[in-house]
Structure 1
Amino acid sequence: MKQSIVSFLFLFILGSTLQAQIKSPSEFLPNYGKQITFYHQTEAYFGHLVKESSFIKHQVYGQTNEERNLNVYFVSTPENLANLDQIRNNNLSAIGLSNQKNQKIGDKLIVWISFSVHGNEYAGMESAMTVAYELLNPANKETKEWLKNTIVILDPCENPDGLSRYANWLREISGKKTHPGLSDREHMEVWPGGRYNHYIFDLNRDWAWQTQIESQKRIALYNQWMPQVHADIHEMGYESPYFFPPSAEPLHEFIDQYQKDFHFSLGKNIAAKFDKENWLYNTRERFDLFYPSYGDTYPTYNGAVGMTLEQGGIGAGREIKLANGTHLTTKDRLTHHAKAVLTIIETASNQSDQLLKGFRGFMTNSRKKAKGVYATYVMKNNPKSEQLVELLKKNGIEYSYANASQKSIGFNYKTKKDNAFSIEPNDLIIKADQPRGVMTQVLFEPNQKLNDSLSYDITAWDLPLAYGIDGYALKNSLAINTKPSIDRKELMLPEKVYAFHIPWNNRTSAKVVSLLLQNGINVRTAAQKAVFGDVTVEAGGLIVSKGDNPTIVDFEKKVSDIIKTKSDYNYLTSGFSVNARDLGGENFSLIKKPKILLLSGKGVNPTEFGAVWHYLDEVIQYPTSIVDVSNIGRIDWSEFNTLILADGNYNFSDDLKSQLTDWIKKGGKVIAMNEALGLFENNDNYALRVFATDEDKTKAETEAKEKELKSRLFDFHNNERRLISSSIPGAIIENALDTSHPLSFGLGNSYFSLKTDARKYSLLTKASNVIYVPKNYSSYGFVGHNLKKKLEETVTFAVEKKEKGTVIYMIDNPLFRGFWENGILLFSNALFQVQY
């Protein structure tokens, strides 16, 4: 017995000695709080903590595009860390996501803190080191009490590539002295800035869509843990006082009272700590909880108390002088964050019973139809469902496929009415009655209730419309036989194939044609439907014939190896059609291989550029030359036949505009998006016009003057709300389309566009108005009442022929944030189907 006591005392003393060897961040990093820390230095510091403390464990959960590790660190008592997997399974078991439960291990609260999803908001990552140190510091007895019932998961940097871009820049331009004056270059970040990841995507808006590798890896781990509390640590403009919960309106109606209650009690606790230090702060003013793809809303809809914390700091560099005469330093910023984050952990630990009860109640109740109007969502069988299913898998949402036929009535997303329809085998069935029922309903609920129109982001995201699928929302549960997957018969190829047919119906079609062209294989596209025996080639359908590719050795194997990712491909044994559209006739034209120039640099919207770059590089894997807009005068135009102008202000000289027009006339194709349309707007050489007639222009100017006169007596307080009456922060707009035009191939009979600004153009003359807003159009989300009527009969996507060349006008961005699936196909049409 005495020997056991002696051994225990020895181990306790040894453990305490080891803990005492932990260095603070400033001891480990001499410039901590004075200069930005490189990402690898942060990793080194956390490596030191893991080596010296038994209260922390490390896990690499993925790698970025630039091959930096994505890390999380689990902080708790050694006993809890020894039982991490059992604690995780117990947590999942309590909400119906696991059958494994260890009765001997008590309930533990899980608190996940994410830092610096925006790379230039670097004080988040800096504060993560202080937070970790205070949790592990042997002298801090208070934090050890919190860890007894709490697992803290720290992700010190969600965006290592963006932070490294910013750190390299700030280090390169920094001198030994700080420069608090506003005019210094360390307060003027260069394009594209460190906010974004490698592909210049905003990862903070990618939680639900998971288009980026960082999001995919992080959410996969998140859904394995399902924490009760998640905090996302940000920065904002340097003049802004600190923001912490409660959040602003609008709050989604599915948010539980327990989540609101914790926000309020936490806010009071942080306020008390900040009051003691005389630090300024604000709550409930700007950051709402509505759009589902943020680092606060996504956890919220998955049962956690999700929140955003914001410290003033963007553009501050290492130190900046504020309007009130005080100086804001890196040390200030990280200290504020650390104080707030530690208060979150403290408050959560003290309220662990309430949080666990609230979380489990939320997840249990999420299975009930009472959370929303609809109990079942039916997506008609469609090749684009493949991508929708991938999204459901990423988010842990359960689904099945109909294995029988049945008549039903449901809300039709396209008509916005209850319609009778038939459920057929292979239709996709998603039920609200599932563990992640709230997240399911948030993504599919057709009419989200917006209790305040001053939203921080887009206000509609209905997935059937985004994916171009016929969808129905049913108020009742379905009693129908289902199956877990679609049975697909493997296509047996004959020894000799006359031609292959690849349907043009989803993003995989675009990737296939990309790979075929890169492999030197000629591809044709159908202008209209053609029938060859029992094979129907739709408008836009791809044809790869042996006759077009006589030099391809082992033609059948090489082509089938490339196109096999398209499960619905087929083959033709003859070029003779049933409906007089033979393979060698005018109905089938060769696709010209695009030679793409994409402009980047100052003036180009970084995220819109990134959306195009990611589409080309990742989605269809097509080679692209990217040139900084400042170097456009140095390019040889003859090397390219396609120019992509992402949203941006292109301040071309008159000479450069003339060169561009000449290049188009000789056979070039321009795809111009959003603000880039300014190059062509009201230009005598092009058809793009804001107003159809001079009379329309005069009328609009008269209305604007009358509005200006009326505004003289408006009160100041409601100015922001008056402004939004003419705005559209992000809503879904119904469009009519010319289905015979190549730009609309594969989209269906109507197109729903995600419109994110009030830009509008009249229907064009001397051009094809392929996709336009009709009279009495339907919409989802918030559209300002002064704008709604004015959008009628305006063009959304148009094509103008200029001698041998083409200009494609994209008023809305079909690649916005990379999740509008039907938009991805539309952009693919512009690239491959619309010929030069």
Structure 2
Amino acid sequence: MLIRTLPRTLKVGLILAGSVFSLSVQADVRDAQTFYPQDVGFNPTIPTPEAFLGHPLGKRVARNDLMVSYLKLLAEKSDRIQYEVIARSHENRPIVTLTISSPENLARLEDIRAAHLALQKPGNKKAIGQDMPVVSWVNYGVHGSEVSSTDAAMPTAYHLAAATGEQIDRILKDSVILLTASFNPDGNTRESGWNWTFGSEVPMTDGVSAQHGEPWPSGRTNHYWFDLNRQWMLQQHPEPVGWVAKFHQWRPNMVADFHEMHSHKSYYFHPGAPDRVFPLIGKDAMALLSDVVQGPRDFMDSEARLYFNEESYDNFYIGKGATYPHMYGSLGILFEQSSTSGELNTPRGLLSFRDNIRTQYRVGISLLDSAAAKRESLLSFQRKFADATKSLAEDDKTKAYVFSVPGDDARAFHFLELLHRNHIEVKRLARDIKVEGKVFSASNAFVVETDQPTYRMIKGMFERITRFENNTFYDVSGWTMPLAFGVDYAAVTSRSFKTGDTVLPAFPRQPAPAKADVAYVFDWSHYYAPRALYRLLDAGFRPRVTTEPFTTDSDKGKVTLGRGSIMMSVGWQGGAKPDELHSLMSQIAQEDGVPVYAVGTAFTASVGMDLGSNLMLELDQPKVLLVIGEGISQYDAGEVWHLLDKRMQMPVVLLHKDKLSWVRLQDYSHLVMVGGSYSDLADKTVQKIDTWVKDGGTVVGIRDGAKWAGQKLLDLSPVKFNKGKLASAPRIDYANKENAEAQDIIGGAIMAGDLDNTHPLGFGYQRREIASQRNSLLAFEPPKNPFATVVKIADKPLLSGFASPENQQQLAGKAMLVAERKGKGSVILFTDNPNFRAYFYGTEKLFMNSLFFSKAFNKPRA
């Protein structure tokens, strides 16, 4: 950002003996005297952020715990504020929301909320009264490293608590304001710690200084290294679960989302690129949004500050903070400011952290003022939105979506949980129905009717969109939820279906099995079967895996189990007692939602092998190393860590890449290498990994990790693709560069694959069709080993999202998942990401199979 006045630090160069030295001269401009508006008075009994923190805003990144304490103090000091903890992070830090309005409005707050929600019901013709406030939400710090966002929460809250005068009286009278800080306290704490560690008393304006860098993992992400701004719809972490619940409690008219961008840029806010808006977001929303941000425009213009709208950023992916609200009639508004955590020389001049905080704060107040001034327009829009949504649903040929998740009640639960958190009503299917040649049974199928207030979000989650006005995407282009969850589903275009009761998500706890005389068995199709298996291995038991289906008599009658099922013998368990085993199997049924069957004989008279068959393979306890650190994708690594640690409750050793050269690999069974760069691994380290694999270790490569492992360990190079239209075009106007280059990428699409579900890595899957998330052209030619291609990319691969026809054609028939034995070990290569953003439940089992069954397959016979 261009600073128009003298910077706080005036640098004077002295030339001595051919060298340039710098003196720092302090110049107090645009500081305390101008940080807050000069025409606004403030209540002297309410402390400023500076007085509470003990340092000026912008001197350092404020500690998160101190920010929380300050917000709590404001609520104690001011009758305009209510304080609430709406969620806690993975590291148990509070996410705080202040509810701010006039004392008179706060006294009738629940009545205001009820009236506001009633306004959003279709057909509501009640006049909008003068006493109905607009509901505005300003949120900060979803990316913890975007520090002007987090720190700006404090002066904004102070202003709303302490300011006096006509403007603040009007804002408070005509608004209920929700202020949340910080959305990502764990990441912000990492960033603050870095800033305090490397901050200097003398301002360091050189961008190479450590202060202007950030740690690995960066403070952008949460504890498990997820980008929480992509989690509004997904809600796979406690932070977004809390704040999205708060959103639905109020359904604000306006949601402001404060961010930072690269330091060389100016200042951006919505509306974004006009041709990159999700189809179910109306032009009327964008027009009203543009009116509301006139307040920030006026402020920026009043100080000759540069900004831009309608380019670079979009409103397409409905799972991020500035777009999700639009699906419910709120205006989501993104603000992006050039980034610094101190004072930084940039091509636009000296960028100041303190001035950045000021800008975010002053823009926020101008936005709240503008929203209050446009109260009637915003409230009227939300009422019209409800009626328009009802009309869209009535005109839609699709009347419902029917779905089922046979053989996996836990995965069904998580899908129902996702729908419920997004306020989508689900009912049971009351009678069998046949759709598109597939029969959905009333015993295990569900129905989502489209004619409900959340119609737009339903369509956004269930539809497969493959055609776009603009093929350039700021985020993923395809996110069809049933595909990601591996759910059987179909669109219903008639009213022939019959529904039962509304379904609320409940974890499928299973009854304890009877005490077995011979063995316990459970099917691998259940989502938490890997967690159950690890419990057994970690307790010292010796389970085995079946390589063929079998049928047996059990305490619950005759039962058929598929390949990959787990057999736990009562005998031959060393010193373990049968009572201990039964207790653990009961725990598995209850806590993991896995049906467990007690078996009284090893003989299976009808189908499949007996329980003592040689086709029941022994299993070893996985001991997993996950490569992390500089050059490694924190997102990919975090997804593996989260899956194993949080969901499957399996330990995973996080190993910095530079320690691979000396770590004792023999102590571990698996080395997981995710996306990132491995070109700096020394030849000795590569040879060390190769020898370890031959001696029995398993490398699991994902994306770039798969490319490296394929080349270095299997001599298997990725396919070299032609670059589509861009490479073949003789000439393209530079103005079309962005759109032309978009043709050569995979825009975060969902691709179809053919899974060999007879292979151990395919155990637990009932269907061969599988959908996976892809954002690159990385793939392998099917290896010479005819059994090594576990997932082949389909001939018509695109299911949802964008991929050019040329790229689709080139990917067709290539290998997405390859599994080869090498010596006593294995190398397993995923060119797609099976754990993407923790919501691809449908492919996570492939990854878990790579840990448990990496030696359950053999080389071809010579």
Task: Return the TM-score normalized by structure 2.
Answer: 0.88
Q: How big is the shift at 1:291?
A: 1.1
Query: Does the CA-based 8 Å contact 1:204-1:295 persist in structure 2?
Result: yes
Q: Write the distance in 1 (CA, Å) between the matches of 2:157 and 2:378.
A: 23
Matches within 5 A, 1:505-654: 505-533=525-553, 534-549=558-573, 551-553=575-577, 554=579, 555-564=581-590, 565-577=592-604, 578-650=606-678, 651-654=680-683
Q: How big is the shift at 1:57?
A: 1.0
Deviation digits for residues 495-527 of structure 1 (CA, Å, limit 9, x no counterpart):
444322222124222222222222223222111
State which drifts further: 122-131 or 608-617. 122-131
Aligned to 2:840: 820
Matches within 5 A, 1:113-152: 113-152=138-177
1:795 aligned onto 2:815: yes
Structure 2 CA distance for partners of 1:123 and 1:707, relative to 1, 3 Å: closer
Matches within 5 A, 1:61-72: 61-72=86-97
Q: Write the distance in 2 (CA, Å) between the matches of 1:490 and 1:117.
A: 38
Matches within 5 A, 1:220-259: 220-248=245-273, 249-259=275-285
1:320 aligned onto 2:348: no
Deviation digits for residues 694-727 of structure 1 (CA, Å, limit 9, x no counterpart):
xxx7xx6xx679976x666332111222212111
Q: Which one of 326, 331, 341 corresponds to residue 300 of structure 1?
A: 326
Q: Which one of 373, 393, 398 corresponds to residue 350 of structure 1?
A: 373
Q: Which one of 474, 488, 492 corresponds to residue 474 of structure 1?
A: 492
Q: How big is the shift at 1:31?
A: 2.2
Structure 2 CA distance for partners of 1:332 and 1:448, relative to 1, 3 Å: farther
Q: Write the distance in 1 (CA, Å) between the matches of 2:499 and 2:67.
A: 53
Which 5+ residue runs of structure 1 have no aligned equivalent? Answer: 1-15, 410-417, 692-696
Q: Write the distance in 1 (CA, Å) between the matches of 2:677 and 2:359.
A: 37
Deviation digits for residues 598-650 of structure 1 (CA, Å, limit 9, x no counterpart):
12111111111110110111010101211211122231122111111121112
Q: Which one of 414, 417, 434 corresponds to residue 452 of structure 2?
A: 434
Query: Does the CA-based 8 Å contact 1:506-1:825 persist in structure 2?
Result: no
Q: How big is the shift at 1:593?
A: 0.6
For 2:364, what is the secondary structure of its paired residue? helix
Q: Write the distance in 1 (CA, Å) between the matches of 2:180 and 2:151.
A: 12
Aligned to 1:443: 461
What is the identity, as a one-letter code, of the residue corresponding to 1:271?
Answer: R
Structure 2 CA distance for partners of 1:141 and 1:378, relative to 1, 3 Å: same
Q: Write the distance in 2 (CA, Å) between the matches of 1:745 and 1:420.
A: 23
State which drifts further: 493-502 or 589-598. 493-502
Query: Does the CA-based 8 Å contact 2:520-2:597 persist in structure 1?
Result: yes
Q: How big is the shift at 1:778?
A: 4.2
Q: How big is the shift at 1:275?
A: 1.4
1:721 aligned onto 2:762: no
Q: How big is the shift at 1:104?
A: 11
Q: How big is the shift at 1:358?
A: 1.5
For 1:291, what is the secondary structure of its paired residue? coil
Structure 2 CA distance for partners of 1:116 and 1:746, relative to 1, 3 Å: same
For 1:251, what is the secondary structure of its paired residue? coil
Structure 2 CA distance for partners of 1:707 and 1:59, relative to 1, 3 Å: closer
Query: Does the CA-based 8 Å contact 1:376-1:478 persist in structure 2?
Result: no
Aligned to 1:759: 778
What is the identity, as a one-letter code, of the residue corresponding to 1:320?
Answer: L
Task: Return the TM-score normalized by structure 1.
Answer: 0.90
For 2:384, what is the secondary structure of its paired residue? helix
Aligned to 1:191: 216
Query: Does the CA-based 8 Å contact 2:745-2:776 persist in structure 1?
Result: yes
What is the identity, as a one-letter code, of the residue corresponding to 1:673?
Answer: I
Matches within 5 A, 1:702-717: 713-717=731-735
Q: Write the distance in 2 (CA, Å) between the matches of 1:373 and 1:833.
A: 45
Q: Write the distance in 2 (CA, Å) between the matches of 1:90 and 1:597.
A: 54
Aligned to 1:658: 687
Q: Which one of 299, 309, 323 corresponds to residue 283 of structure 1?
A: 309
Which 5+ residue runs of structure 2 have no aligned equivalent? Answer: 1-39, 857-862
State which drifts further: 235-244 or 85-94. 85-94
1:668 aligned onto 2:693: no
Q: Which one of 28, 35, 48 corresponds to residue 60 of structure 2?
A: 35
What is the identity, as a one-letter code, of the residue corresponding to 1:317?
Answer: S
Deviation digits for residues 309-354 of structure 1 (CA, Å, limit 9, x no counterpart):
10110xx230111113x21101221122122222221121111122
Q: How many residues are treated as equivalent by the alignment?
A: 796
For 1:54, what is the secondary structure of its paired residue? coil
Aligned to 1:459: 477
Q: Which one of 802, 806, 809 corresponds to residue 782 of structure 1?
A: 802
State which drifts further: 338-347 or 49-58. 338-347
Q: Write the distance in 2 (CA, Å) between the matches of 1:50 and 1:164.
A: 23
Q: Write the distance in 1 (CA, Å) between the matches of 2:429 and 2:98.
A: 43
Query: Does the CA-based 8 Å contact 1:245-1:266 persist in structure 2?
Result: no
Q: Write the distance in 2 (CA, Å) between the matches of 1:664 and 1:508.
A: 28
Q: Write the distance in 2 (CA, Å) between the matches of 1:265 and 1:95.
A: 21
For 1:43, what is the secondary structure of its paired residue? helix
Structure 2 CA distance for partners of 1:489 and 1:206, relative to 1, 3 Å: closer
State which drifts further: 45-54 or 454-463. 45-54
Q: Write the distance in 2 (CA, Å) between the matches of 1:371 and 1:657.
A: 60
Runs of 4+ in 1 over 6 A off after TM superposition: 486-490, 703-707
What is the identity, as a one-letter code, of the residue corresponding to 1:294?
Answer: K
Query: Does the CA-based 8 Å contact 2:49-2:158 persist in structure 1?
Result: yes
Structure 2 CA distance for partners of 1:349 and 1:176, relative to 1, 3 Å: same
Structure 2 CA distance for partners of 1:123 and 1:490, relative to 1, 3 Å: closer
Q: How big is the shift at 1:558?
A: 2.9
Structure 2 CA distance for partners of 1:548 and 1:257, relative to 1, 3 Å: farther
Structure 2 CA distance for partners of 1:641 and 1:526, relative to 1, 3 Å: same
For 1:89, what is the secondary structure of its paired residue? helix
Deviation digits for residues 731-758 of structure 1 (CA, Å, limit 9, x no counterpart):
1111112121011122322111110122
Q: Write the distance in 2 (CA, Å) between the matches of 1:705 and 1:282.
A: 32
State which drifts further: 48-57 or 799-808. 48-57
Q: Write the distance in 1 (CA, Å) between the matches of 2:116 and 2:567.
A: 52
Aligned to 1:330: 353
Aligned to 1:686: 714
Q: How big is the shift at 1:56?
A: 0.8
What is the identity, as a one-letter code, of the residue corresponding to 1:571?
Answer: A
Structure 2 CA distance for partners of 1:322 and 1:17, relative to 1, 3 Å: closer
Structure 2 CA distance for partners of 1:457 and 1:137, relative to 1, 3 Å: same
1:207 aligned onto 2:232: yes
What is the identity, as a one-letter code, of the residue corresponding to 2:342?
Answer: R
Query: Does the CA-based 8 Å contact 2:43-2:164 persist in structure 1?
Result: no
Q: How big is the shift at 1:296?
A: 1.2
Q: Write the distance in 2 (CA, Å) between the matches of 1:707 and 1:161.
A: 42
Q: Write the distance in 2 (CA, Å) between the matches of 1:206 and 1:774.
A: 29
Q: How big is the shift at 1:295?
A: 0.5
Matches within 5 A, 1:259-270: 259-270=285-296
Aligned to 2:5: none
Q: How big is the shift at 1:225?
A: 1.8
Aligned to 1:23: 47
What is the identity, as a one-letter code, of the residue corresponding to 2:676?
Answer: G
Q: Write the distance in 2 (CA, Å) between the matches of 1:793 and 1:783.
A: 16
Query: Does the CA-based 8 Å contact 2:674-2:706 persist in structure 1?
Result: no
Q: CA RMSD in A?
A: 2.7
Q: How big is the shift at 1:822?
A: 0.8
Q: How big is the shift at 1:421?
A: 4.0
Query: Does the CA-based 8 Å contact 2:511-2:589 persist in structure 1?
Result: no
Q: Write the distance in 2 (CA, Å) between the matches of 1:61 and 1:442.
A: 27
